[in-house]
Amino acid sequence: MTAATEQGAKRGGGVSWPVLLVGLAIVSPLLWILASGIGKDPHDIASPLIDKPAPAFALRTVEGDREVTLDSLRGKPVVLNFFSTWCVPCEQEHPALLAASRAFGDRAAFVGIVFEDTRDAVTRWLDRHGGRGYPVLIDVGGPAAIAYGVYGVPETFIIDGGGTIRQKFKGAVDFGTIRAALEEVR
C-alpha cells in the first residue's frame, strides 16, 4: 500500500460521534437493565400477601374424614406448608416440619397442603416419611395454591394469631428457621 492510500484509509475510516453518542445513550440503560437481572431467578418474587390477611380456605384432609378451615385455626400462629410428593426439597424439609410441630405444637398450628398430587401418593409418602404429625389437606383443583400465589413447592407461610401473613419461605425450611419465625409472631 502506498503512503497516499494509507492516508486515505485513515481519513475515510472516521466515526460519526453524534450517532455513536445517541446510540450509547439508548443502549446503555437497556444494558444496565439486562445486567441487573443476570443471576436472579425471575420466579423469586416477593409475595404481595405479606402483612395482608391470609386467604381463606376450606379443604378436606387426605384421609377425607374432616374439613379444615383457616378460621378454625385462628387464635394462634399457623405454619402453612405447601408440598408435593414429587418434590425433592419437600422430602428434605419434612423431618424438620415434623420436629417443629412436636416442639411448638402447643403454641402454633401446623398444616400441610398438598400441591398437585393425589391422595394415594400422599398417603404412601407420609407413611414412608415419618407419618402425620399434623393435618395434611388436599387442594383439589388448586384454589388454595392460587389464593396463596404459590409458584412452586415447597412454600411455607407463617400466619400470626390474627390471621395476617407475616412471612413466606420459598424452598426447604429447617427447624431453626421455623423457630425464629414463630418467635417473631409470638
Which parts of 141-160 interact with other proteins (CB under 8 A)?
A: 141-152
**Is 96 an interacting residue with respect to other proteins (CB under 8 A)?**
no
Among residues 68, 77, 84, 156, the one that binds other proteins under rule CB under 8 A: 84
Q: Does 171 bind other proteins (CB under 8 A)?
A: no
State yes or no: residue 72 binds other proteins (CB under 8 A).
Answer: no
Q: What 8-state DSSP symbol labels residue 72?
A: G
Size of the site for other proteins (CB under 8 A): 44
The answer to the question of residue 19 lying near other proteins (CB under 8 A) is: yes
Q: How far does Cα 120 stand from its chain's mean position?
A: 25
Q: Does 48 bind other proteins (CB under 8 A)?
A: yes
CA distances from 174 to 3, 90, 94, 95 (A): 75, 11, 9, 9
**Which candidate, 39, 40, 71, places its Cα nearest to that of 56?**
71
Whole-number Cα distances in Å, 36 to 25, 26, 31, 32, 131: 17, 17, 8, 6, 44
Considering only 20, 22, 31, 180, the residue that binds other proteins (CB under 8 A) is: 22
Q: Which pairing describes strands 67-69 and 78-83: parallel, antiparallel, or unpaired?
A: unpaired
Residue 24, interface with other proteins (CB under 8 A)? no
Contact segment (CB under 8 A) with other proteins among 72-80, 103-111, 138-146, 160-168 equals 138-146
- Which one of 88-96, 99-107, 140-148, 157-165 is the stretch in contact with other proteins (CB under 8 A)? 140-148
Cis-peptide into 135, omega within 30 deg: no
Rounding to the nearest 10 degrees, give the CA dihedral for residues 141, 143, 136, 41. 100
Q: Is position 116 an interface residue for other proteins (rule: CB under 8 A)?
A: yes
Point out which residues bind other proteins (CB under 8 A): 2, 4-5, 7-8, 11, 19, 22, 26, 30, 42-43, 45-49, 53, 55-58, 84, 86, 115-119, 138-152
